[in-house]
Structure 1
Amino acid sequence: MTKAQWTHPGNEHQVGAHPATQSRDLATTIEVFEATTSMFDGKRQPAVYILASPNRRAIYVGVTTNLERRLIEHRLGRVEHTAQYNIRCLVYVEAHETAPDAIAREKQIKRWRREKKVALIDSVNPEWEDLAPEASM
């Protein structure tokens, strides 16, 4: 199993680097990016996502069945909260089989303290790289 195929216990739909991995090489970065961009094929795929501002001070947890459309809405300023705090960078995403599963996971993550959300992001994207750069949208 490669680092990008590891799944968190209890959530077999999340693709990302194993949290025990200390360094992240280019191949792993590419694998995570490809797993994320495969969600942009136009199909309805329930997903939980986390966006962050460039300075990492503000984060936003959301759920959608069309990640590409939702990211466009965020980046065009159509979502008041993310527009107000310049929250545009996709730093975490996990796919789910059903919308109710994704909604339940979103609610779970939203109840967490900020430190736990940051640890979740760091476990798969320690550099907080944008997993969907605007040029690829």
Structure 2
Amino acid sequence: MSMVDPHTTLLKLLGQATHAFERELNRELRAALRDDLRPAHYAVFRYLAPEGSRISELAQEAGMTQQSMGELVAHMERCGYVERTVDPSDRRARLVVLTSEGRAALGIAAEQIRRIEHRLATSLGERGSAELRQWLGRVPEALAD
């Protein structure tokens, strides 16, 4: 077990943990799916509402420009994971929704995430894993206005 420099910021540690988790998820997904998804595409899956989302909403949630999110969505649309449909609440707008292939990919990702979390629990111990989950779950509340 490596020692963590006590001067390393929590933000850096959280970023490193996220990067390691997503790197492993990407490795496993690329083995299980076609080789056309990259970590940047996970923002679409991560923030897409079950009923669909507008590109502007996805971009805002992901902290990126609408143009960049539009490019990610266009790529995922070409790959068959999402499609754009008319927004029933405003027929001028479009919603990004999962296709059946996108839902299947999300199911595969969920299984891979469970496997990675199991590996973490094995490494950290059940108690350590549960405590990590509890502490991370409290961060948004602790930082809320």
TM bucket, shorter chain: under 0.3
TM-score w.r.t. the length of structure 2 is 0.25
Whose helix proportion is higher, 1 or 2?
2
Whose strand proportion is higher, 1 or 2?
1
> Which of the two has higher C-alpha Rg?
2
TM-score w.r.t. the length of structure 1 is 0.26
